Structure 1
């Protein structure tokens, strides 16, 4: 296990006689571990409680924007170093959008002048892509021994009642106390249900009426289907009621395929976001698309998993914090995957929380409970508008891909305009301003809390 660097919050001295702030993180996924590393870097005592018996991340790809990487650097440089070891940036300056529907031959599909609809600057988002499991495993190696406790499923928490700690109650009958609790336990967050109340509309996500399929295949198959130009780039094919995003990963050895389709039906089981499907079912859904797309589908295994895309667009959470408990990442603002920026929002969340909790740690112990509540309320206020915009925009972007968006249809110029401004909103984001706003708002709330 690596030793963690520690630093003092900006502009404040870290009194070594002050006890460290104790933070419990519920959930050991990517955002939970990133948040933990950011807090450890600021000298806090962190424990991650994970309900499963070991770290688990599926082998699918994930990508992080330039903004997210800036946040990683500020959280803890080791996080960005871990990403750099497994991530790959696009070698192209522009992200290209192709017509996946009209080309009738593979040769016409490979001709830029006939099937390229438009492109947008890659620098707007500046993605680095990697495998989720590779990134998570790299970060786990940075955690001090004993940071993670497995087999701990949260069933309740209590705050107050004569205790100066927030007490987590687990399914195995044990408890654990901390100064503050951060729920990073994903789209079906138990922490969110407890914070808002199980009957609250935002306690559970809703179906977006989109399904998606994803797979990693050997790179040579993609090269044969798409040609060298497309196969070596992030390639986005759009068309009626479906879209295909594909790109090389794992240093170009593997090829990531993501195919989404519109589904007018209801999802059969809202508590299970996956169902078994077949390559034939997917092929049938895109049977009128071009032959190159048929070849891409042919690379998938015969039996595949179908994912239902759920999010919190219909019932956004009214707050991400209550008292000394908050939620972050998907637990706060679960998004569909179509913008490819949901995890990036979680990294931004982590930076705001780390900065604010770093301020609180410098305070006398007696002042911390009130100021912790102020810090978490500030975090919620600063993050809620941007993150909930992303959740709705991710739905919109999928409809634009699938020629279902009322403002664009099949019009390439209108689609490009939508991609342009939405991409800039995600990628041209002032991290310094976010941190400054959080500090200003926190100081206002903390001053009123003290008085």
Structure 2
């Protein structure tokens, strides 16, 4: 690549040619955090969001200590935003930093809910919050003038002449940018255009699991379950189903998610959720232990029923093509069983923030590097470093659900084997080498600009 560069590019540039503009498609948590990171690094951006305003679907979301450290490196204000709405396990003044697992099925009448094993997640290593509350705080870090609403992407075009990429929206309008990053979620249009509409990897597939999500007022939950259970994260596992709950909204709500099998076939183009009923959940857990049955009886009569799609069956063969890339759920939508999908998206945002910072340095300080070449190198580096880890994460999330539900061939119903499987997979997520990733993306980027062949990153 370096041998083909003209030595007088810098001298022939117009004043604005050294700058570049990035279009971020999608204004969810991942897109907003990336936007905040790029703005901090003086990268010019425009964000295009299909809705009328910023909004997040779902209820609770949680971040471990490692994800929070990634946030801090992107922009300390992101951590401040999280802390303002986050809720720790247990006593806020003495948080419980463990994730806890119980046998929700075999508990006998009159027995207390016993913790069978637990995992240390780091100091304040499990910060839960309501998605919408976090989004409201993140929005405050993004200037209004960089966001355009009601812009649903139809396609983008690259004429291959090194000029601007053109974005075409469903309302008939268009825009231009030097690079495009798709943060447009599980049904990503950017992924469909990047990989091709005939490619199965362009679309998520149904995992045959559904989830009932609800928020229970904490006073009701604590009265029925006791403070110790209600105000701490608990995973209640059992045959072919499991229930997770943790506190949100400064301990005023208990976020509950009940996972059930769903043998029906569903298309990615159908709705991801529909109204669900308390009765369906109560019936599914009717033969479980008293704690789980008490939780199901706390639910409202009506709640959301979510159908869990992911990219496990057809993972993307690449996250980048030229000056276009995909990140977060757009690249590697996962089932929620590790409870870390948002955190892995934050890792993506940190990698891209660093790479585009390197692009700025390159085009400002090297007369032989064009912004087009630098952007292509950055996105290729992102794909190389991030794809293996994130696709492992998607696969592991499916597998860990089988462990929780006593269906995994190697662990079965043996508690010690379950513990070891959950532990090593969780630690691979929580104790990720952030500095190592940053060194990898920098080495990959610089190697591509120099025309070097870079060995496959070790994740």
TM over 0.5: yes
Q: Matched residues in 1 for 2:345 and 2:443: separation?
A: 21
Indicate if the aligned counterparts of 1:124 and 1:424 stay in contact, CA closer than 8 A. no
Tell me the equivalent position of 1:413.
416
Give the structure 2 partner of residue 3 of structure 1: none
User: In structure 2, how many angstroms separate the alpha carbons of the residues matched to 1:290 and 1:364?
Assistant: 63
**SS of equivalent residue, structure 1 residue 275:** strand
Write the deviation string for residues 62-108 of structure 1: whole angstroms up to 9, x where unpaired: 11121211111111111111111111233214322111111232x30
- The residue number in structure 2 matching 1:100 is 104
| CA distances 1:207-232 after superposition (whole Å, capped 9, x unpaired) | 11111111111012221332221112
Moved more, 160-169 or 390-399: 160-169
Query: What is the distance in 2 between the residues matched to 1:418 and 1:216?
Result: 30
Once the two structures are superposed, the pairs formed by residues 184-203 of structure 1 within 5 Å of their partners are: 184-203=183-202
Matched-pair contact (CA < 8 Å) for 1:238–1:401:
yes
Give distance in 2, aligned partners of 1:86 and 1:320. Answer: 32
Query: Secondary structure of 2:101's match?
Result: strand
What does the per-residue CA deviation read over 1:386-445, in whole Å, with 9 as the maximum and x for residues that have no partner?
100110010011111111111111111011001110111001111111000110111111
Aligned equivalents of 2:267, 2:381: Cα separation in 1: 39
Q: Contact 1:124/1:428 (CA < 8 Å) preserved in 2?
A: no
TM-score (norm 1): 0.91
Moved more, 385-394 or 80-89: 80-89
Residues in 2 aligned to 1:359 and 1:269: alpha-carbon distance in whole angstroms: 37
Listed as ranges, the matches of 1:300-339 within 5 Å are: 300-339=299-338
When the two chains are superposed, the root-mean-square deviation of aligned CA atoms in Å is 1.8
CA distance in 2, matches of 1:361, 1:134: 33
Give the match for residue 248 of structure 2: 249
Unaligned runs of 5+ in 1: 1-15
Unaligned regions of 5+ residues in structure 2, if any?
1-14, 90-94, 453-459
C-alpha spacing 1:124/1:198, structure 2 compared with 1 (3 Å): farther
SS of residue in 2 equivalent to 1:109: coil
Tell me which residue corresponds to 1:33.
Answer: 32
Is the Cα–Cα contact under 8 Å of residues 125 and 426 in structure 1 kept in the other structure? Answer: no
Alignment partner of 1:439 is 2:442: yes
Structure 2 residue 331 is matched with structure 1 residue 294: no
Alpha-carbon deviation of 1:271?
Answer: 2.2
Distance 1:98 1:189 in 2: 36
User: C-alpha separation between the residues in 1 aligned to 2:70 and 2:117?
Assistant: 30
How far residue 125 of structure 1 moved from its aligned partner, in angstroms, is: 9.0
Q: Figure out how many residues of one structure are paired with residues of the other and give that number.
A: 429
Residue 374 (structure 1) aligns with: 377
